[in-house]
Structure 1
């Protein structure tokens, strides 16, 4: 009686490893060369512009016109905090810090209001029937079907002197209200624009929760505040953190709403960057402002990753 022959005994070592790799590959799974075109496109159109902006922030400004002079300098970053007069005296200049402060305040107000509005809505959506939940998610995502400019112009029609708000105000005897081209209109536009970005992550965190556990807590004598604080809020925390980032960072650098609804009366960081690349033709300084915002975003993401590791909760920055 002969012993069974191992079919891999006569194969070369390289052939055995290649065959083992093919066996380990799951059905329908592509190798890494199939993802190479997508990786190249991502590097070209995502990483490429970021690298260009970072390089431009360390370049010099030409004497006239836009563009950059390829000479290394830290002047764009120094000019963010200091100003040099014609005599060469350098003094602290808080103007751009005030712009950052105004942008930060508007972004914080947008984030807080969106959170206060979104959490009850997302909780209510998560407690509905599956069919109704799908319909409610559809209603929340309907604004994404229309271009942002179209939605902003619609708000301009609503808030102008002859809009529906002023018509209702005059009909009730309150007179005409100055709403359009004010900081209030800009703030309202930001809240409307970014509200779905807060609702959807919180809803995604609560959608799979078995609310019979909350009912059991009620049966055991827990109050509504205790149930929300000890059961629902910990479950919704990853969605809340994701929503805060998805709302705060775009609202911090927003451009469309402050210009169209606010009339550009309040200078924010998005308007400042656009003016540096446009009217002022100071590309290095505009790039430096963009890099500062990018660094703030990186710090926020690192803080979220640190929180996720310490708490053991997985936080995903996605809708």
Structure 2
């Protein structure tokens, strides 16, 4: 009689222990080591020294070069998230209203690109958007002059939307699966138009699913490396490619670690603020 409560109280810890140790070893420990590395002194002649400084953080937040790259990263991530939301929400709504077997077929079409490597898809877009790519060839066929798309922010946004769209569709579609279709039909029977029912009934119900999709897309877009590296080129840098250059080209690991930590903190602050704003609005609308 006395031993049962203790065994029950220890069961959650025993169950969560392996996962917590794995999370600490794979996430928290490398992150802590990166934070420590970002404060180490670096000398171009002798390398990393056994001393600590704030100069790397000061150099990053006061240099217009780094600030411009951070602003470009946030701008590209925000544009990608907005376009994915505009495209993904109607796509998820249509998918939720489909019946089998068409729903399964189109769901496979949406998830299918995830089975292809991001690098392969980036190379595919580089061939489409290049100076002699299919897009410019199509423009020349209709009598228009070719445009420069490759190595621009437009090319990065287009490729990121293609890669990130499933991460927006799936959370919204999952939220729509929990919505009773009769609720929308009830709004129609009470005189609401389809657009009003969609705006006043469906959209508030799936706002949390859209929130999840936006957070996933924004976080992955802001930390993307392969697509900005292949479609942005050497001049159009983003945060991930900047960290890569500092680590492998400049060999300034402390500065690269400081840039990575700043990007991580900025992403967390933006995502937490957006999460709080959307959840507060959803609670207000849903009562």
Whether the TM-score (by the shorter chain) exceeds 0.5 is yes
- Matched with 2:60 is 80
The question of 1:190 aligning with 2:153 is answered: no
- SS of 2:50 mapped into structure 1: coil
The answer (yes or no) to whether the contact 2:40–2:53 under 8 Å persists in 1 is yes
Q: Structure 1 regions of 5+ residues with no counterpart?
A: 1-15, 83-92, 314-319
The structure that is helix-richer by fraction is 2
- Matched with 2:3 is 18
Equivalent of 2:243, from 266, 269, 273? 273
- Matched with 2:143 is 173
The answer (yes or no) to whether the contact 1:65–1:281 under 8 Å persists in 2 is no
The question of 1:39 aligning with 2:9 is answered: no
CA distance in structure 2 between the aligned counterparts of 1:71 and 1:158, rounded to whole angstroms: 49
CA distance in structure 1 between the aligned counterparts of 2:278 and 2:108, rounded to whole angstroms: 30
The answer (yes or no) to whether the contact 2:76–2:153 under 8 Å persists in 1 is no
The question of 1:223 aligning with 2:193 is answered: yes
- Matched with 2:121 is 151
CA 1:247–1:65: 2 relative to 1, 3 Å: farther
CA distance in structure 2 between the aligned counterparts of 1:275 and 1:65, rounded to whole angstroms: 19
1:45-98 C-alpha deviation (Å, 9 max, x unpaired):
1212111111111111134365x323121111111133xxxxxxxxxx322212
CA distance in structure 2 between the aligned counterparts of 1:118 and 1:220, rounded to whole angstroms: 28
Larger gyration radius, structure 1 or structure 2: 1
Please report the TM-score for the alignment, with normalisation by the length of structure 2: 0.87
Equivalent of 2:70, from 100, 115, 135? 100
Equivalent of 2:38, from 57, 71, 75? 57
- Matched with 1:246 is 216
- Matched with 1:4 is none
CA distance in structure 2 between the aligned counterparts of 1:129 and 1:195, rounded to whole angstroms: 22
CA distance in structure 1 between the aligned counterparts of 2:203 and 2:108, rounded to whole angstroms: 24
Provide the aligned length of Structure 1 versus Structure 2.
283
CA 1:269–1:168: 2 relative to 1, 3 Å: same
- Matched with 1:286 is 256
Displacement of 1:307: 5.0
Q: Structure 2 regions of 5+ residues with no counterpart?
A: none
Displacement of 1:222: 0.8
CA distance in structure 2 between the aligned counterparts of 1:17 and 1:304, rounded to whole angstroms: 48
Please report the TM-score for the alignment, with normalisation by the length of structure 1: 0.79
Displacement of 1:128: 1.3
CA distance in structure 2 between the aligned counterparts of 1:228 and 1:110, rounded to whole angstroms: 24
